[in-house]
Amino acid sequence: MSIIPLGTTGSFTLDVKSEHLASQVKNPTLPDVLATPVMILVMENAALSAISRYLKPDERALGTAIDVLHLAATPAGLRVVATAVVTKVDGRRIVFDVTAHDEIEEIGKGTHERTIIDLHRLQQRLDAKSARPAAARKS
């Protein structure tokens, strides 16, 4: 992993469509507004955008924590832009301030953490989990 400077910024844009709405993603009784999990996805993608150039080919950054407020509703047809700013780097742990705005106002803000992982080591752990007998996986 290369050194990731504090203040490194990334962004991600989403044009809100019907498949991004709470009424489609979560429950049809909910209003036709951007679903909170989709807003979080946009924020996480902004964080990835901020640090991707610092990762080696065999590294990835997995989300490990998120603490956000969804402040305002966004209907389909508007564009949402999320921004992530690196505020702390502690070894493999990266902390971001994240915000999201639609074309009218700020719709979300909070913090997000990602951890740098080695793909080979992750695959070894996943293979070991998959190899466990079904009875052992249930307990």
Q: Catalytic residue, from 20, 70, 101, 112: name it.
A: 70
Q: Catalytic residue, from 8, 9, 19, 36: name it.
A: 36
Q: Are 109 and 99 in contact (CB under 8 A)?
A: yes
Q: Is 106 a catalytic residue?
A: no
Question: How many angstroms separate the CA atoms of 22 and 33, rounded?
Answer: 6
Q: Is 36 a catalytic residue?
A: yes
Q: Catalytic residue, from 9, 19, 29, 44: name it.
A: 44
Question: How many angstroms separate the CA atoms of 6 and 21, rounded?
Answer: 34
Identify residue 91 by its one-letter amino acid code. G
- Show which residues are catalytic: 36, 44, 70
